[in-house]
Structure 1
Amino acid sequence: MSLPLLQVQGLKVSFGHVEAVKGIDFQLHEGQITTLVGANGAGKSTTLLALSGLVKKTAGRVTFDGRDITALAPHKIVSGGVVQVAEGRATLTTLTVRENLELGAYTRRDGAAARAADLERIFALFPVLKERAEGLAGNLSGGEQQMLAIGRAMMAKPRVLLLDEPSMGLAPIIVQDIFRTLREINKQGLTIFLVEQNVRQALKIADRAYVIETGAIVLEGSGRELLGNPRVQDAYLGN
């Protein structure tokens, strides 16, 4: 297998005396969907925030495309190609859909024409966003706001897209749409790291998967392997 695009070694994160992430190792390979699954409070979102530079790492090393990004500021990580879609979507509700998307390109320096082309690509991927481009983001449904959050992150031209609980609070039929879109984005070449409590959906689309429990990775394998793992079935799939 090729060298990993993003590699995490010995990552630890503590909040006071509580060690939320306990020295975990994992890697993302270019063009793949990798997922980190586990129960609420297992350390999934903290791991993602640490990768993005939004919480302090107490130990460990993160390399992206051979470059050490462990101590980089969040905006430097974004401009380098690692972009996160926040849990809860974090759309700017008093701005229009178009303005939200344009803000996603704030780190880019490649000219208006390139940004406009990418905006049209987002509109093609999410036609409802084109229909509502001049409306306020706050008037979108939860599923539409999730589409907007993904589109805004893609406007930064990421090489790795980090997603934190994209299914949270959405109706099952909308969740299916979101995961279908993630597969489509991945087929276009984008590497995805998905943190998700909906274990079944995440494992179905994942090339590689890790299970985290109380801050430690306890299982890893292909998505298909973990879907069939009795421990995963008993703990997360209700089989």
Structure 2
Amino acid sequence: MSATPLLKVEGLKVSFGHVEAVKGIDFELHEGQITTLVGANGAGKSTTLLALSGLVKKAAGRVMFDDRDITGLAPHKIVSGGVVQVAEGRATLTTLTVRENLELGAYTRRDGTAARAQDMEQIFTLFPVLKERSEGLAGNLSGGEQQMLAIGRAMMARPRVLLLDEPSMGLAPIIVQDIFRTLREINQQGLTIFLVEQNVRQALKIADRAYVIETGSIVLHGTGRELLGDPKVQDAYLGH
């Protein structure tokens, strides 16, 4: 693993009116790793992701990606550069087909239909149910299938970093296991993942590196295994 982070965040602040939602946090993502940001609802996790994607304004701080300052870039330029987010709640376009949703994921690419078709086949290999339902409307998919579609659509953009916002939200435990197993598989193929999750146990189990955020501040960090065994984390989040 390179000692230089692929993505580095320094002093990130986000405010909504007089409320400081993210209070000057620092963290880094290393290439080929799964990094997770965990914490209670309202701690600032999703706001952090939205700031990385350029979807909410940063009050202060800097975001470096692959030695390039992307702090002020527009969202579509951040996606084109290789940082792609899977939104909370999946945000599938329910009146379009599964295939059309996947094709939209590649909207920033300029490498021709053959390359996009090849990538779509890889998505279908990863999620066979999407191939079976490819000509059906996305709105007819179950919650778990819509989450698979949202991940597949993001991967069609050929990300170097995949940002995931609460992928387990609203899903049955057995489906959550499948989603996390797939994330590990995608990561083993070389994709760097930044995972925001309320399901702290599942997130820490698969994370190489982990951060805990409370009321907009990072209060703990370490390896996933270290935080899984940390008494403070167990008391606050794991019900021990």
Measure how far apart 1:147 and its partner are: 0.1
Give the aligned CA root-mean-square deviation in angstroms.
Answer: 0.2
Q: CA deviation at 1:140?
A: 0.1
The C-alpha deviation readout for 1:50-109, integer Å capped at 9, x for no partner, is 000000000000000000000000000000000000000000000000000000000000
- The superposition leaves residues 140-169 of structure 1 with CA deviations (integer Å, 9 ceiling, x where unpaired) of 000000000000000000000000000000
Counterpart CA distance in 1 for 2:96 and 2:21 is: 35
What is the DSSP-based 3-state SS (H/G/I as helix, E as strand, rest coil) of the residue aligned with 1:91?
A: coil
Q: Distance in 1 between matches of 2:117 and 2:138?
A: 19
1:13-39 alpha-carbon deviations (Å, 9 max, x no partner) = 000000000000000000000000000
Distance 2:133 2:103 in 1: 14
Please state how far the C-alpha of 1:111 moved relative to its aligned partner: 0.9
Distance 2:91 2:105 in 1: 12
1:133 aligns with 2:134: yes
Q: Where does residue 61 of structure 1 map in the other structure?
A: 62
Structure 1 gaps of 5+ residues are none
**Long gaps (5+) in structure 2:** none
Matched residue count: 238
CA drift at 1:3: 0.2
Q: CA deviation at 1:174?
A: 0.2
Identity, in percent, stands at 90
Superposed displacement of residue 173, structure 1 = 0.2
> What is the match of residue 97 of structure 2?
96
SS at match of 2:89: coil
- SS of the counterpart of 2:24? strand
Q: For 1:55-204, what aligned pairs fall within 5 Å after superposition? A: 55-204=56-205
> Shift in Å at residue 47 of structure 1?
0.1
Secondary structure, in 3 states, of the residue corresponding to 1:176? helix
How far did 1:189 drift? 0.3
**TM-score, normalization by structure 2:** 0.99
